[in-house]
Amino acid sequence: MSDRTTLWLLGDQLNPDLDALADADEVLLIEAHGFADRKPYHAHKLTLVFSAMRHFRDDLRDRGHEVRYVRAESFGEGLDAFLADRGGNGSGADTDADLRLMRPASHGAGERLRELVAERDATLTLLDNELFWTTPAAWRAWADESADAADAPSGRAVGTAINDDGTATRPYRPEHWYRHVRR
């Protein structure tokens, strides 16, 4: 494993006060234009996101962070360029890169990005997303407690376990989760 830690931030994770920045030796931002073509995003939104990424890059550099900003057609091509650059001196890609990424807001995106990195013989560690008040693990713990309570004589609801992907076999009302979080 490389002795340098790289924090890969996505376009919706641009916050200079992230705790994860303190532990990173460098920050990776990939401006992937192909990703933008996958859905019908409004052109102004794309301009805003890419502009925000560039300004964030400059802000981080002003704060003393080492930032690697890659413009590519896809995240895969961006990772290829980043890893090849890390190899330096023509030695090839740095396959021992220690990449870290806050869990993306989109369900399943973290695992897809982890697979993309693994295809390049590197590793990606998913960190809890600091921009959310809670974590998927907290949701699962609450849902399991809720299911256990349902098995009690109160008969509040039919109990169930939460699957690994976060899905359940019975509906949960967001209202109950929000009340739990506000406590």
Which sequence spans correspond to the domains of the chain?
A: 5-127, 136-182
The residue that leads in pLDDT, 115 or 178, is 115
Bridge partners (DSSP) listed for residue 5: 98
Nearest to 101 by CA among 120, 117, 119, 77: 117
Fold of 5-127: Rossmann fold (3.40.50)
More confident residue, 145 or 124: 124
CA dist 100 and 117 (Å) reads 11
Whose tokens are 């980043």? That residue is 82
- Can you give the pLDDT at residue 126? 94
Whether the predicted pLDDT of 154 surpasses 70: no
For the cut 50, the answer to whether the pLDDT of residue 17 exceeds it is yes
pLDDT band of 119, cuts 50, 70, 90: very high
Instruction: Write down the pLDDT at residue 148.
Output: 57
Q: Which two tokens stand for residue 94?
A: 């740095």
- Average pLDDT score over residue span 21-28: 95
pLDDT of 13 over the 80 cut: yes
Mean pLDDT of 25-51: 91
Q: Identify the top-confidence range among 27-36, 95-104, 132-141, 143-152.
A: 27-36
Nearest residue to 10 via CA among 111, 150, 87, 109: 109
155, pLDDT greater than 50: no
For residues 163-175, give the mean pLDDT: 72
Nearest to 57 by CA among 69, 40, 43: 69
Of all helices (H) and strands (E), which one includes residue 114? helix 109-118
| Pick from 104-113, 146-155, 163-172: least confident | 146-155
pLDDT of 160 higher than 60: no
